[in-house]
Amino acid sequence: MLLALAKKLRAEVKASGSENLPIGTLTVISPYPQLRYGDVDGIGLVEIDATGNMAGFSPVERCQDEHGETAWIPTELVRNIRLQPFGFTGSATTRSRKPAK
């Protein structure tokens, strides 16, 4: 599914105009020192191990889904990037109840 999304995005950019470099050409790649995690709509949780610049999509993140597919996805489509594989749950504040007197 991740590869299908990347292919669809490249096709849309090719139809919209011309670039100096071929669409999808990586120009800069920087690996992260620690894995990151994010959410991609329609895909779910992905692991992120690098960031980079890609003609037509800069910046991008190298994502791997649960099936092992790896693709460069525009950063704007990767939500809730974090260092842990889980998201926020519950309330930020907690209330303690004291027995009534």
For the chain, 101 residues long, the average pLDDT of each consecutive 10-residue run is 86 68 88 96 94 91 95 95 75 50 52
The count of domains in the chain is: 1
pLDDT at 17: 60
| Residue 99 maps to a domain | no
Q: Which domain holds residue 75?
A: 2-15+25-82
Would you say residue 6 lies in a domain?
Answer: yes
8 belongs to a structural domain: yes
pTM: 0.71
What is each CA distance from 94 to 73, 86, 90, in whole angstroms?
Answer: 37, 20, 9
Residue 97 is assigned to a structural domain of this protein: no
- Structural domain includes residue 45: yes
**Domain assignment present for 68:** yes
90 within some domain: no
20 is a domain residue: no
Res 95: pLDDT? 47
Tokens (6 digits) for 76: 């704007």
